[in-house]
Amino acid sequence: MGKTLSRLTVLQGIVGQCILCAGPGQKGLDLCSRCELELPVLTHCCQQCALPLQEHAAYCGQCLLCPPPYQHVESPWLYLPPIAQLISRFKYNRQYSVGKILSKMAANRYVSTYIDRELPDLIVPIPLHWTRQITRGFNQSEHLARDYSRRLNIPTKRYLKRCRPTAAQQTLAADQRRRNMKGAFRASGDVSGKLVVVVDDVMTTGATVSEASRCLLEAGAREIHVWCLARTE
């Protein structure tokens, strides 16, 4: 009887269906409370690059020795199951509904971290080269940026262009990633004096967002923050 009622409420649209366990979701969110609690939340991390750290540390060694061009990274989750699988479903299988659930939860997290500080002026997604966009069919970072823009009332602009095709970052070591991204972007809009958020889906070494940040700073941006869904350990 209980299972029948649960299925009925999903069918009637009272609540959605959890994208992980297929049970009833929460009101306004197709994810049940139990599955939400099991997501790998990023807690203590470097205050600049969001690298997971032991609780006594405020900054990672890399940011202390060689600070990146961006000032702050916000990431709700660690890149671990089931977040890794959800991002993959959104990014490679074009499951846009999964992307909207992730962006909704992420936007709530971002808002909570800006209570006592200035909200960004502009959201700029990491662009794909046109050849990869044709192959993949869409740019996941653009989808996320548009959702954040609508939810947070911050304009989003395609103010970065991909100058050349680059190898997939997943296949490269850290030094190779930095070389791969060097000169990959060009700023194409007015960012003068603005606090700009760069949006990407996953952050690993930070090579992509660092190169994008340098490009925007050279174009006159005042400060760069990064919003990503997940951070690797």
**CA 170/CA 172 separation, integer angstroms:** 6
CA nearest 70: which of 193, 196, 191?
Answer: 196
Global pTM reads 0.88
Q: What is the dotted CATH code of the domain comprising 33-231?
A: 3.40.50.2020
**CA 162/CA 125 separation, integer angstroms:** 11
**CA 178/CA 175 separation, integer angstroms:** 5
Per-position pLDDT tens, the chain of length 233: 344 334 434 444 456 899 999 999 999 999 999 999 999 999 999 999 999 998 888 999 999 999 999 999 999 999 999 999 999 999 999 999 999 999 999 999 999 999 888 899 999 999 988 777 788 889 999 999 999 999 999 999 999 998 866 656 666 566 766 666 676 789 988 999 999 999 999 999 899 999 999 999 999 999 999 999 999 98
CA nearest 80: which of 72, 68, 91, 88?
Answer: 88
